[in-house]
Amino acid sequence: MATIKEISVEDKLRALYALQLVDSKIDEIRNVRGELPLEVDDLEDEVAGLSTRLEKLKSDLETIDEQIKEKKNAIEAHNAAIKKYLEQQKNVRNNREFNSLTKEVEFQELEIQLAEKHIKEMKASIEHRKEVVAQTQEKLDGKTTHLTHKKAELSDIMAETEKEESFLLNKSAELRGKSEERLLAAYDRIRTSVRNGLAV
């Protein structure tokens, strides 16, 4: 009858120590990356936000342009109405008709003044928004350049360490497979609660 070989405490400790060495090396590789992955994510979010804002600003500019065109068309319509009323004034039969047409002409002139005031305000708004667009575009270009640089930096680091990290992760999994669940649970608990990641 074959007896199950009992693993000695020394062997258990050696296996945990080997696992600790491998895990520490993995930590070291990940520390080289540092905050770079998070920095890249933040920059990507910022670039996306700026792009969205830029699109909105450009859309607003187009809307204001359309509104200016509408106001200019309205001014043309008011001028045509004034011309029509002035022609009608030449053929009036009494003072009441003449006064009524004069009031219509005055009303159309007020409408024209109001439309011109709105156009002036909209043009000022366009100038302001164009400045904001230029500033936003400049900021976006800067962030995009910075993001490209950081991505390249992260990519270089990943390329340098990927093979080694992959090998070490496999080794760690292999060593974990040879250790007891109870010991691994304690090891992982201690490892996550200390800053340096050392449990053994």
Dist. CA 10–CA 36, nearest whole Å: 40
Strands (E), the chain: none
Tens digit of each residue's pLDDT (9 = 90 or more) over 44-53: 999 999 999 9
What residue has token string 């305000």?
A: 121
Q: What is the CATH number of domain 11-193?
A: 1.10.287.1490
Residue extents of the structural domains in the chain: 11-193
Kindly report whether the global pTM for this prediction surpasses the value 0.85. no
Tens digit of each residue's pLDDT (9 = 90 or more) over 171-182: 888 878 777 787
Q: Which of 33-37, 67-71, 96-100, 111-115 has the lowest mean pLDDT?
A: 33-37
Strands (E), 21-179: none
The amino acid at 125 = S
Backbone angles phi, psi at 178, to 5 degrees: -95, -5
The amino acid at 82 = I
Query: H or E stretch including 125?
Result: helix 95-177
